[in-house]
Structure 1
Amino acid sequence: MKKTSVELEKTLRDICFKIKIEGRKVLKRFDISSAQFDLLQLLYFKGEKKLSDISKKLGVTKSTTTGLIKRLLIQELIEKKQSDEDKRVYNVKISKKGSEIIEEVIDRRVDLIRKITNKMGKDDSFIEKLIELDKTLNEVVEGDEV
């Protein structure tokens, strides 16, 4: 079982890396670092977040998060507003311009996946197994969160 787990981890890591690199080719046209892109993705997929939540989700310090947010605000890729409930808290959300960049990256990744599936042939059971793997992974990861 350990050998299978090791092989699966390596294969998934390799697949994820290649898909990530393909999508990030789009970013060459923009002045966005990988860390800034990760923050944009978080906001795009998870919605508006407090600065402290962003730091926790990205696994970076609050000062690093502040720097990322500052640069993204200058580029108008995110919006920042003071919380109505607590004036000490700021919420950040992705802007239309930021969303357009994420969607362009997703389109690039989808094109890659389409090429791969066309080459491999359509196999619904394989896709269903990947979806099941993703759901199980989410359950395990969420179960481990403190």
Structure 2
Amino acid sequence: MEKKRLENFEKIIRDICFKIKVEGRKIIKNIDISPAQFDLLQILFFRGPKRVTDLSMALGITKSTTTGLINRLEESKYLQKTKDEKDKRVTTIKITKKGENVIQEVIKARVEFMNDVLSKVENPEKLMEELENLDNIINEVRKNENK
């Protein structure tokens, strides 16, 4: 495929992702957490409890910055820290019910937004099938590149 079309394809995908993200972020404007804190909560919600190092790597930020996010979220009861019984140096971070509620509210807002979008699409089932196929191809390419 020609370079111009590939660049346009990347831009379209990036724009779609950004717009959906912005719709969800409207919810957190009414809550006392930042977008970076929200990203951390999402990781815990979808991937389960993590160590600080794992969160830092997933977010692409320093451990000290991650620790700051964690401390503020813990103060607000969005997550909790637990020391490992065997190795007190290891701390596991887990999302609380309050944190889960925030994520669920954002997902709900995104789903409502996508429902509005899909109601304007001629054949939403076909679009969903094509998007699922694209996602599978992306996963396959990523898997092959990581070998």
**Same-fold call, TM > 0.5?**
yes
Aligned to 1:70: 71
Superposition CA RMSD, Å: 1.6
Aligned to 2:25: 24
Matched, 1:61 2:62: yes
Distance 1:144 1:89, change over 3 A: farther
Distance 1:92 1:108, change over 3 A: same
Which residues of structure 1 form unaligned runs of 5+? none
Question: Which stretches of structure 1, 4 residues or longer, exceed 6 Å deviation after superposition?
Answer: none
Aligned to 2:105: 104
Aligned to 2:12: 11
Distance 1:141 1:32, change over 3 A: farther
- Alpha-carbon distance in 2 for matches of 1:44, 1:133: 25
Distance 1:6 1:81, change over 3 A: same
Amino acid of the residue matched to residue 44 of structure 1? F
| TM-fit CA distance, 1:137 | 2.2
- Alpha-carbon distance in 1 for matches of 2:34, 2:24: 13
Matched, 1:89 2:90: yes
Deviations 1:1-45 (A, max 9, x none): 122221111001111111111111101111111110100001111
| TM-fit CA distance, 1:144 | 4.6
- TM-score, scaled relative to structure 2: 0.92
Amino acid of the residue matched to residue 26 of structure 1? I
Q: How many residues align?
A: 146
Aligned to 1:118: 119
- Alpha-carbon distance in 1 for matches of 2:47, 2:137: 19
Which residues of structure 2 form unaligned runs of 5+? none
- Alpha-carbon distance in 2 for matches of 1:28, 1:21: 11
- Alpha-carbon distance in 2 for matches of 1:131, 1:89: 38
